[in-house]
Amino acid sequence: MLIQQVVAFLLAGVLMTGGTAGGDLQDVPQDSWAYSYVSYIVEHDVMSTTKTGYFLGEVQINRGDFILSLWRAAGSPAGGSVDFSDVKQEDACYEALAWATQQGICQDITGDAFSPAAYLNREEACAFLWRALPAFGVEPREGQSGGLSGFEDVDAVSSWALDAVGDLYARGIISGTSDTQFSPAGPVTRNEAAAMLYKTLELAGKIEGEEKPSVPTSTVPEDEWSWFDDAVFVGDSVSLKLTGYVTKTRQSDPDYLGKAQFLTAGSLGSGNALWEVSDKSVHPLYQGTKMRLEDSVQACGAKKMYILLGMNDIGLYGVEDSVKNMETLLGLIKEKTPDLQIFVQSATPIHKGNEKKVLNNANLRLYNEQLQEMCQRNGYYYVDIASVLTDGEGYLPDAYCSDASGMGMHFTDEACRIWVDYLKQDAAARQAG
């Protein structure tokens, strides 16, 4: 069953350190072009899923994750050392990067930093993979760039990557982004990385005769957004960012997140949501009027409510009282709208270095555990969005945090996209039963 989707990440390492390999895929349908590649690569422990089985194939892969996956595909060989200033021995990609350095795979890196969490582009991916071919028993070929002549942007391929791009293109390991564009500086998604690694193993004769793994998947209904047509999202400044992201996305995709409405306000919490409405209260506006949530949820006509609160509560009330306040608030809302389906979203983590004495990730995890228990007692649905917005150390990843130098808890557009993708997949699972 789907209960999760998308990072990330993974941008800062969730899938390098926090996922599980060989688990059930929850977000790659069997009719997807990437299914046979991803299912094999995950089944053979080359790339990982999140702990609940989400591959996050449309997320752009980072440099450290790609090197780690390349190393695993090559059989996890030992050797070498790491001289990059931003890679420590305890990092998930350390051994992989040590091997890659020894093999000359990273020879074009200038400076003393590898930037493992930085996005990988297409020509970098080609260069890394091409230089690794001997580890697969395949001899790299030079002088194959002539086959790229049909691409209008062939001149944009860097000279150090030209042989790699030409050879891998000629072998069918990578293709252009269209009939006329190769897009050397374009992104590489996790799906594309899985396809490249699969095709390399196939070229090396390591897949022939292998039975394709059968991995359970769930599919999104044809009308993928209809679930949210009668939904309202309630939350604080974290959800306020989602409000802005969805509003912006709807300018180019009017159907995005269906007809979902938003009741969000900065500094909102389950505690102050219980206050009476006043000039000083922070209740969200509905059609220009400030209302208590039980009134505004009823007024907007929603049949489903997704609520995310906690960041503004734990520091004031502690974990247990914050959960009690949430339970009281939801009871009031349910009393006003008895048929409302309530989806309680987990609190999301704080960026590394931004935790406070009480408002910290340990307490947020405890809060989420107690929220889940509260949902079970009351018949509410618990939605674990934190699971795709958390890195391997339990923090909000760099690439998902818009205010790392400030509060360290608010999201980038990419984090919002991951969040919505998770919700979409979760909705598909619930509709599938």
Verify that 53 and 150 share a domain, yes or no: yes
Verify that 80 and 136 share a domain, yes or no: yes
**154-196 pLDDT, tens per residue?**
999 999 999 999 999 999 999 888 888 899 988 888 889 999 9
- Is 268 a member of any domain? yes
Backbone angles phi, psi at 231, to 5 degrees: -105, 150
Residue 163: what pLDDT? Answer: 94
Does pLDDT of 12 surpass 50? no
Residue 187: what pLDDT? Answer: 84
Does pLDDT of 217 surpass 80? no
- Is 305 a member of any domain? yes
Verify that 167 and 315 share a domain, yes or no: no
Distance from chain centroid for Cα 70: 20
pLDDT confidence band for 292 (50 / 70 / 90)? very high
The secondary structure of residue 345, as a DSSP letter, is E
Q: Which of 281, 290, 225 is nearest to 263 (CA)?
A: 290
Verify that 145 and 56 share a domain, yes or no: yes
Verify that 196 and 237 share a domain, yes or no: no
CA atoms within 13 A on the CB side of 238: 28
Of 203, 236, 268, the residue that ends a domain is 203
Q: Which of 282, 343, 269 is nearest to 311 (CA)?
A: 269
Residue 11: what pLDDT? Answer: 37
Does pLDDT of 222 surpass 90? no
Residue 216: what pLDDT? Answer: 40
Verify that 171 and 316 share a domain, yes or no: no
- Is 342 a member of any domain? yes
Q: What is the mean pLDDT of residues 387-416?
A: 92
Q: What CATH number does the domain containing 417 carry?
A: 3.40.50.1110
What are the DSSP E strand ranges found in 216-302?
231-235, 261-264, 285-286, 289-290
Q: Is the dihedral of CA 223, 228, 229, 230 positive or negative?
A: positive
Verify that 33 and 153 share a domain, yes or no: yes
Verify that 176 and 282 share a domain, yes or no: no
Residue 2: what pLDDT? Answer: 31
- Is 216 a member of any domain? no
Q: Which domain holds residue 73?
A: 14-203
Residue 262: what pLDDT? Answer: 97
**312-334 pLDDT, tens per residue?**
999 999 999 999 999 999 999 99
Average pLDDT value for the chain? 87
Question: What is the domain count for the chain?
Answer: 2
- Is 219 a member of any domain? no
- Is 158 a member of any domain? yes
Verify that 384 and 273 share a domain, yes or no: yes
- Is 213 a member of any domain? no
Q: What is the mean pLDDT of residues 98-120?
A: 83
Residue 334: what pLDDT? Answer: 97
- Is 210 a member of any domain? no
Helices (H) and strands (E) in the chain, counts: 11, 7
Does pLDDT of 14 surpass 80? no
Residue 80: what pLDDT? Answer: 80
| Better pLDDT: 154 or 214 | 154
pLDDT confidence band for 116 (50 / 70 / 90)? confident
pLDDT confidence band for 106 (50 / 70 / 90)? confident
Verify that 256 and 191 share a domain, yes or no: no
**38-95 pLDDT, tens per residue?**
999 999 999 988 776 788 887 778 888 999 999 999 999 988 888 888 888 888 889 9
Residue 86: what pLDDT? Answer: 86
Verify that 194 and 238 share a domain, yes or no: no
Q: What is the mean pLDDT of residues 250-259?
A: 92
Q: What is the mean pLDDT of residues 350-366?
A: 95
Verify that 168 and 246 share a domain, yes or no: no
Residue 63: what pLDDT? Answer: 86
pLDDT confidence band for 433 (50 / 70 / 90)? low
Q: What is the mean pLDDT of residues 288-294?
A: 96
